[in-house]
Structure formats: C-alpha cells, structure tokens
Amino acid sequence: MTIDVSLPAPTAADDRGLVAQTVPPNYASVTVDVDLTGVQRLCDRVQADFRRTHDAPIDHLPFVFRAVMVGFAAYPQLAATIDDAGIAQIAADPHLQIGVKSPDGPKFPVVRSAANLSVTDLALELARYAKLAIESRLASEDLRGGSFSVLDYGARGILFGSPCVVRPQVAILGVGQLLRRPSVIGDRGLDTITIRDRAYLSLGYDTRHVDGPIATRFLDDLRTWLENTGPNVELHY
C-alpha cells in the first residue's frame, strides 16, 4: 500500500541508526499511563529460569515490543516509511528499531521481521544487541531498515516525553521509567489504594500520515494488551 504525503526525501542514517532532522511541522504525540504490575510479576516469576536457560534477563520491554507488533495488525499505517518520492510505504514485514547502550552513546539496531517473534525471541534479540553494542561490534547493517522505533528513555530515569519521529519512519514509541506508584483500584464506593508497577507510554507521530484517532486507539490497544498480561501467563522459553 502506498500513500502520497508529500514529504521531503529522507536523509541517510548516521552511525547510531538515526537520521539527522528537525521536528516536522505536522508532529503530534499522545501519552497513556500503563499498569505493568502483571507483566512485572510475570518477569519476577520466570527470571531465574529464564537467565539459567538463556543467560539473559527479561523485563517489561520485550512485552512492549510484542504489544507494538500485535497493534500493527489493526493499525498497519504506523509501520510505514517514507521513500525518496515522498510516498509512505506500509511495511508488509515490519522491522523494529530499538535503543541500546554502547561506549559511544546510544545505538539503535533493528530487529528484523519482529511480528514473527515471541516475547522470548524479542528478549533474546534485545540481549544480543545490547551485548554487541557494549562490545562495539554492531555492524552498520544492524542499524538500517527500521519500520518503527521504540525508545526506552525510562532507563535514564525519565518519566515521559514527546519522542521525535525518526525519518523515514512516521511514528515512534517512548517508554518511561517503570516505577512503583500508589494507584486507586476498584469501582466508586469500593475503591482501594494499592502499590502498582506503572510506566508512561508516549506515541509520537506524523499527522500527515497517521490520524490522531488512529494513534490514540493504537496506544490504547497497547495499554489493554499489556494490562491483560498477568503473572500466570505461560511464557515459553
């Protein structure tokens, strides 16, 4: 599928996997507060076995990655890139661009065909790229071809922000710091205050390609998927 949104041609990605740019004039963002208690309890339950099996950790990020890929089934226009003619090409096989630390600063490698990967697969890809980045062994090809980016600024203690779209992509998800916070649970009259693991998710998007209601529904579906992932979900690893 192609959509002409009359965008300027993208420039080449730099050695981090990003594109030098200014904020597009038709940029917007939307944020939701997500209860990740179930996901975090699931991670806690399987952490020891997962590390023993794969020599790698698992946290909430692979679940966020998986929720994004599930969301593309209903909202494929978010997994699009702009070609040299300014046409938005919706990816039939979306590739997910993720952030990892390196001695030279953050790098943004690409997880290929991410829609075909399980939460476990995504956790292992994150761990693999994190190791390559720390050892300064990421290849330039590892940083090319992303359809959609996920930026974990929560790793630096940032609660939420307005992540800027990485051209030639049309949308990006920012993940804020996961914190234990007081939350009101229950219906009116039966409310209780309890401690929950929560994080803010922010979606930045180009309004020339992604309508506001579509972006809002996509983000709300992400929240629903993540909040419905409980501690007793069977995680195959």
User: Rounded CA gap, 171 and 81, in Å?
Assistant: 9
Let me know: does 154 contact 199? Beta carbons within 8 Å. Answer: yes
Overall average pLDDT of the 178-189 stretch: 89
Overall average pLDDT of the 173-200 stretch: 92
Closest among 183, 13, 35 to 97, alpha carbons compared:
13
Which tokens belong to 233?
């979900």
In 195-219, which positions are buried (b, 16+ CB within 10 angstroms) versus exposed (e)? ebbbbbbbbbbbebbbeeebbeebb
Describe the crossing of helices 212-227 and 61-74 by its angle, rounded to 10 degrees. Answer: 130
- pLDDT tens digit string along 138-166? 999 999 999 999 999 999 999 989 999 98
pLDDT value of residue 237: 62
Residue 10 clears pLDDT 50, i.e. is over it: no
Helix (H, G, I), strand (E, B) or coil at 193: strand
Let me know: does 6 contact 208? Beta carbons within 8 Å. Answer: yes
Amino acid identity for residue 205 in this structure:
Y
Let me know: does 203 contact 219? Beta carbons within 8 Å. Answer: yes
- pLDDT tens digit string along 57-88? 999 999 999 999 999 999 999 999 988 787 88
> Which pLDDT band, with edges at 50, 70 and 90, does 20 fall under?
very low
pLDDT value of residue 142: 97
- pLDDT tens digit string along 87-101? 889 999 999 999 999
Give the β-pairing of 110-111 and 171-175.
Answer: unpaired
Percent of the chain whose pLDDT exceeds 70: 89
Higher pLDDT among residues 18 and 88, named by residue: 88
pLDDT value of residue 14: 58
Residue 6 clears pLDDT 90, i.e. is over it: no
Give the β-pairing of 96-98 and 110-111.
Answer: antiparallel
pLDDT value of residue 16: 55
Architecture of domain 2-11+28-227: 2-Layer Sandwich (3.30)
Which tokens belong to 58?
């698992």
User: Rounded CA gap, 100 and 36, in Å?
Assistant: 21
Overall average pLDDT of the 178-185 stretch: 95
